Amino acid sequence: MKVLQIKNLKKRYGEKEIIKGISFEMEKGETVVVIGPSGTGKSTMLMCINRLTEPDGGEIYLNENQITGSKHPEIFRQKIGMVFQEFNLFNHLTVLNNVMIGPMRVKKFSREKAESIAKENLKKVGLELQMHAYPAQLSGGQKQRVGIARALAMEPDLILFDEPTSALDPELVGEVLEVIKKLAREGMTMLIVTHEIGFAKDVADRIIFMENGEIIEEGVPSLILNNPSQERTRQFLAKFMEGR
Amino acid sequence: MKMDLVSTLKVLLDGTIVTVELTVISFVIAFSIAIVVSLAQIYGNIPLKIIATVYERILRSIPLLVVMFILFFGLPSFGIRFNPFMAAILSLGLCSSAYQSQIFRGAILSVPKGQTLAAQSIGMNGTQIFVHVTLPQALRFAVAPLTNEFTIVLKDTSFAYALGVTELLREGTYIVSTTYEPLLIYLLCAAIYFTVTFSTNTVVRRIEKRFALPGFEFRGERA
Amino acid sequence: MIHFINVFVNAFPFLMDGLVFTVELALSSIAIGFVIGIIVGISRSYGKKWSYMISTGFVEVIRGTPLLVQLFIFYFALPQIGIRLSPIIASIISFSINSGAYQAEYIRGAIQSVDTGQMKAALSIGMTKWQAITRVVMPQALIKVIPSWTNEFVYLIKYTSVAYLVGVPELMAQGEFIASRNFEFMNVFLSVAIIYLVIVLFITWGFSRIEKMVRMPGV
């Protein structure tokens, strides 16, 4: 079953068309990485998928059910997890409560059940010792791992990652990427927008190159990164190679 | 005329009690109204927003004394008669509610947008987001300005003097009229007001410190 | 309704007489208060031990006691030690001191928000501390303080109504006089309220225009 189908997605801000008709699909267990220049609508696209931003056109299907146009987005949002560039952890809650609050308040699980789910997921990202700390006391890498645990606690069918490592100091990037790799190995379906080309090479089943709100090219990493068919893809990658 | 210090202090104390009563009751009335007004301004539909905004704009632009006189002297011609105490707490309550609504509004809008996005992303609906994410954080932002507003209401209770309410200032004035020691008495009154505001601020600051969460700055600005 | 308009129109000239006093009181108080505010604000920000303590004490006491009590002290209490002030003078002095204390805090806040790097930079090119304060910090701080004048001016326009209680014939007093003379309490006080409302809205609008004109990117 196709977990995600996007057909002709469009998004405008005022006069400007940010997303110009994007279509792609994802199978269960796939990890798809989206790369491309900044400001080309990659993050906007992610926000459209869970309708944190409303699309202006096109259709989106989750597990082959249409989610565009439904009047209660909070229902299908339980099945889509999101990890934010700015972490967005709930400042007034401990790490444990951050991860627990979804299962407890949204899924209405009992406190004990929610707590055990939370602890399990914190263990998975390696943070069970920091359960009772507050977000302000954590490093960036730790915060992001809590964000991942929070998304995992809802047992989603798909997790969206919006530039998960862009706000991190370089030495903290690795711990987050390790967690993401682990999730990929365990078969989680993930759509990741990132700048880390090297990471894309490591973990992606498929890479999509987006520029100016359009998909220029998609394919397996070895093909896209080493032998892209489009000129613009080539130019973009060249900048990354020499920039190092 | 010889002045009896003990009975003077007793009279002033009675006045202080009335002052505190005025303050607390008015503040609570204002608080309740302000919550409704601020929610209307942020989450309401257009007509609600307009009504709420007009309400707070008008009440922030008219002097407290005018409101008091309208309620106490003006309403009787419509058949509504308030005693001075009631007129005072209603006026204080109405005026403070306008300021408090802006405090709440500011506090709610200070909660970073990312918090709402994250809450939406795990499937919370509007009410859940407000109750579990926005409100707990907004309340913490509101503590400092609300304390400030409390002391403002406390000081404004002195206006009830104009309606004849036997609060601290009026009691002081009665004593002055019998003892002819205005300097001493009014300075005493000032000292009492100061002590009450100072203690309130100190107590609140202690409570704030105790309940502070790591990473939460309590904003200490004047409203 | 028609009756109300009737009352409003008839009362208007007298109320305007009162308004003149109100504005006079507010303007003089904010101006004198500004001078006091600068002195106290600088003292609070840069002063050494004694001036800091005195200015802090001043601010805390004034802000911790009601304006009305301060006014009563100046008008009713000072005569006891031989200083007899007219209602207007007592009011202006009292309001100025009150406003000065609040403006001192706004100014202190503005001074502190002007990057401390500014002071370091000024000193590093050889300015004395005093030059740095007057030529670098204060100009920027004063621009930052302008928005707070709106607040302060509105506050004064409203609170000058207490001058009525010591006999100044300002707007509130005029209203009370006309109302009790004619037994038209509701209509007259509503008229008074409307006048205050219009004045305050006008001031708020006016100051936001001024703010826009004086805005400097980056300050």
Residue-wise pLDDT tens digits, A121-148:
999 999 999 999 999 999 999 999 999 9
**pLDDT of B214:** 76
Q: Which of B66, B162, B169 sits opposite C69 (nearest CB)?
A: B169
Contact predicate B147/B141, CB 8 Å: no
Closest CA to B56 of B74, B76, B77, B41: B41
Neighbours of chain C (3+ CB pairs under 8 A): B
Whole-number Å distance between alpha carbons of B182 and B170: 12
Look at residue B223 in the predicted model and tell me its pLDDT.
Answer: 29
Which helix (H) or strand (E) segment holds residue A25: the answer is: strand A16-27
Give A40-61 pLDDT, tens digit per residue: 789 999 999 999 999 999 999 9
Tell me what the mean pLDDT of segment C204-216 comes to.
Answer: 80
Residue B219 has pLDDT above 50, yes or no: no
CA-CA distance, A238 to A174, in Å (whole number)? 24
Q: Is C156's pLDDT higher than 90? A: yes
- Which of A90, A108, A117, A163 best probes binding to B when mutated, by most B CB atoms within 10 angstroms? A90
B139 → chain A, closest CA residue: A92
pLDDT in tens, A232-241: 888 888 877 6
Size of interface B-C (CB pairs under 8 A): 120
B63: nearest CB among C69, C70, C158: C158
What's the half-sphere exposure (Cβ side, CA atoms, 13 Å) at A115? Answer: 6
Percentage of residues in chain A having pLDDT higher than 70 = 98
Q: Are B156 and C66 in contact (CB under 8 A)?
A: yes
Cα nearest neighbour of B169 on chain C: C69
Average pLDDT over residues B91-106: 96
What whole-number distance in Å separates Cα of residue A73 and Cα of residue A52? 9
| C-alpha torsion A192→A194→A196→A199, nearest 10 | 0
With 70 as the cut, is the pLDDT of residue C115 above it? no
For the ranges A129-133, B175-179, B198-202, C87-91, the lowest mean pLDDT is seen at B175-179
Q: Worst-scoring range by mean pLDDT, A85-94, B37-46, C116-125?
A: C116-125
**At C143, which amino acid appears?**
I
> What is the pLDDT, as a whole number, of residue C158?
95
Instruction: Output b/e per residue, C187-203; b: 16+ Cβ within 10 A.
Output: bbbbbbbbbbbebbeeb
CB within 8 Å: B64 and C158 = yes
pLDDT tens, residue by residue, A64-122: 899 988 888 889 999 999 999 999 999 999 999 999 999 999 999 999 999 999 999 99
Residue B89 CA, distance from chain mean position: 10
Report H helices in chain B.
5-43, 46-61, 64-69, 84-110, 113-121, 126-129, 135-156, 168-179, 182-211
B117 to A84, A169, B134, B184: CA distances (angstroms): 9, 23, 11, 59
Q: Residue written as tokens 């007899």?
A: C84
Spatial distance between the Cα atoms of B123 and B133, rounded to a whole number of angstroms? 13
What is the C-alpha to C-alpha distance for residues A126 and B170, in angstroms, rounded to an integer? 67
Quote the pLDDT of residue B3: 59
Q: Strand A2-13's sheet: what is its strand order?
A: A16-27, A2-13, A57-62, A65-66
More confident residue, C97 or A223: C97
The pair phi, psi for residue B222, each rounded to 5°, is: -80, 140
Match 């967690």 to its residue by tokens.
A179
Closest Cα in chain C to B95 = C158
Counting CB pairs under 8 A, whether chains B and A reach 3 or more, is yes
CA distance C138 to chain B (A): 21
- How many percent of chain A have pLDDT more than 90? 66
Q: What is the pLDDT of residues A171-215, one digit of tens each?
A: 999 999 999 999 999 999 999 998 888 888 888 999 999 988 889
Q: Name the pairing type of β-strands A158-162 and A80-83.
A: parallel
The residue of chain B nearest to residue A155, with distances taken between CA atoms, is B122
Q: B80-116: buried (b, 16+ CB within 10 Å) or exposed (e) per residue?
A: eebebbebbbbbbbbbbbbbbbbbbbbbbeebeebbb
Question: What value does the mean pLDDT of chain B take?
Answer: 91
CA–CA distance, B222 with B146 (Å, rounded to integer): 10
- For the cut 60, the answer to whether the pLDDT of residue B29 exceeds it is yes
Query: For residues A165 and A184, is the Cβ–Cβ distance under 8 A?
Result: no
- Measured between beta carbons, the chain A residues lying within 8 angstroms of B112 are 88
Residues of A whose CB is below 8 A from B128: 105-106
Q: How many residues does chain B have?
A: 223
Summary mean pLDDT of chain C? 90
The strand pairing partners of A156, in sequence order, are: none
Nearest residue in chain B measured CA to CA from C193: B62
DSSP A226: H
- B69 with C77: Cβ contact below 8 A: no
- Do residue C73 and residue B61 have CB atoms under 8 angstroms apart? no
Pick from B114, B128, B139: nearest CA to A103: B128
Nearest CA distance, B213 vs chain A (angstrom)? 7
DSSP state of C141: H
Q: With beta carbons under 8 A apart, name residues in chain B contacting A82.
A: 118, 121
For the segment B57-69, what is each residue's pLDDT rounded down to a tens digit? 999 999 999 999 9
Show the CA angle centred on residue B118, arms to residues B117 and B119, nearest 5°: 90
Q: How confident is the model at residue A244 (pLDDT cuts 50, 70, 90)?
A: very low
Distances (CA, A) of B74 to A65, B64, B82: 64, 14, 10
Pair of tokens at residue A223 = 């093909």
Interface contact flag, B122 A89, Cβ < 8 Å: no
Name the minimum distance, in Å, from the CA of C149 to any CA of chain B: 14
Determine the 3-state secondary structure of A63 from DSSP: coil
DSSP state of A131: T
- Cα separation of B204 and B197, whole Å? 11
Residue C181: is its pLDDT beyond 50? yes
What's the pLDDT at A36?
A: 87
Give the closest-approach CA distance of A106 to chain B in angstroms.
6
Q: What is the pTM of this model?
A: 0.85
DSSP B83: -
Q: Which residues of B touch A90 (CB under 8 A)?
A: 115, 118-119, 133
β-strands A65-66, A57-62: how paired?
A: antiparallel
* A217 pLDDT above the threshold of 90: no
Is the ipTM reported for this complex over the cut 0.90? no
Would the pLDDT of C118 be above 90?
Answer: no
pLDDT value, residue B15: 94
For residues C6-33, give the mean pLDDT: 92
